[in-house]
Amino acid sequence: MKLIKFSSTFVSMKKTAIIVAGGAGVRMGSAVPKQFLLLHKVPVLMHTLEAFYSFDREINIILVLPDHHRSTWEALCRQYRFRIPHQLVQGGNTRFHSVKNGMERADDEGLIAIHDGVRPLVSQETLRRCFLTAAEKGSAVPVINPSESLRKVDDGESIPVDRSEYRLVQTPQVFRAAAIREAYRQEYNPAFTDDATVAEGWGIKIYLVEGNTENIKITSPLDMRIAGHIMKNWHTG
């Protein structure tokens, strides 16, 4: 009966999602930032928030947006009658500073997930694995296996490495709230490439869980088309 006891504790655990949507969309060759582009007729970012809301209707969603995108987002929410409750927080100069701003509005209890706004295709199973593992072990980072051979480059030379020893890292990266809030009080370090590296900088051990391959980060027009296709497939069959 361990599972049932654990699950009921887990269900009642406070959950926060900090969704970071700081990108200016420069790489997309588009005037519209990528999180606002339409995917299956709805802005990317709305799908992202919906994934977390579907997972837990009580989740505290904190959306971190650059100040100059705030009015666009608010207009889109009205236009699309977007009703998922969330707080808006102003972005910082780097991803670290954006997440840090979000942390200030998060609870000190339960679990905090940090997620890229441009990953609308995170599955409910990935969310479940991440939150469950973080509840049990303190952290959870979703990863997938590289599907190609890997080489390491160094000063013009390259060597083959064993791809079975590597993982590609996705989000949400989920942590116990009190610990990750402390971690984000550290001084900024350029080696902080994601939340896991910030957590490790504060001594938090990282646990990997299986992600879902569809959970791509939309950074190019090709990604946008792929995401559209995946989503269409999810909705039709």
Q: Point out which residues bind a second copy (CB under 8 A).
A: 141, 143, 146-154, 158, 160-161, 163, 165-170, 193-194, 196-197, 200, 206, 208, 213-214, 216-217, 219-220, 222, 225-226, 229-230, 233
The torsion angle over the Cα atoms of residues 111, 55, 117 and 142, rounded to 10 degrees, is 60
* Closer by beta carbon to a second copy, 56 or else 194: 194
Cβ within 8 Å of residue 182, ≥6 positions away: 202
* Closer by beta carbon to a second copy, 88 or else 208: 208
* Closer by beta carbon to a second copy, 88 or else 144: 144
| Minimum CB–partner distance for residue 153 and a second copy (Å) | 6
Output the six-digit token pair for 1: 């009966």
| Minimum CB–partner distance for residue 197 and a second copy (Å) | 5
| Minimum CB–partner distance for residue 200 and a second copy (Å) | 7
Closest CA to 23 of 40, 39, 38, 45: 45
Output the six-digit token pair for 155: 């000063």
* Closer by beta carbon to a second copy, 24 or else 150: 150
For the packed helices 2-12 and 124-137, what is the interaxial angle rounded to 10 degrees?
A: 100
| Minimum CB–partner distance for residue 129 and a second copy (Å) | 16
| Minimum CB–partner distance for residue 192 and a second copy (Å) | 10
Closest CA to 184 of 94, 119, 121, 110: 94
Residue in the structure block whose two tokens are 């020893």: 165
* Closer by beta carbon to a second copy, 1 or else 153: 153
Using left for φ > 0, alpha for ψ between -120 and 50, and beta otherwise, residue 29 falls in left
Strands 157-161 and 208-210: unpaired
| Minimum CB–partner distance for residue 208 and a second copy (Å) | 6
**Which residues are bridge partners to 15 per DSSP?**
111
Local structure of residue 209 (DSSP, 8 states): E
* Closer by beta carbon to a second copy, 9 or else 193: 193
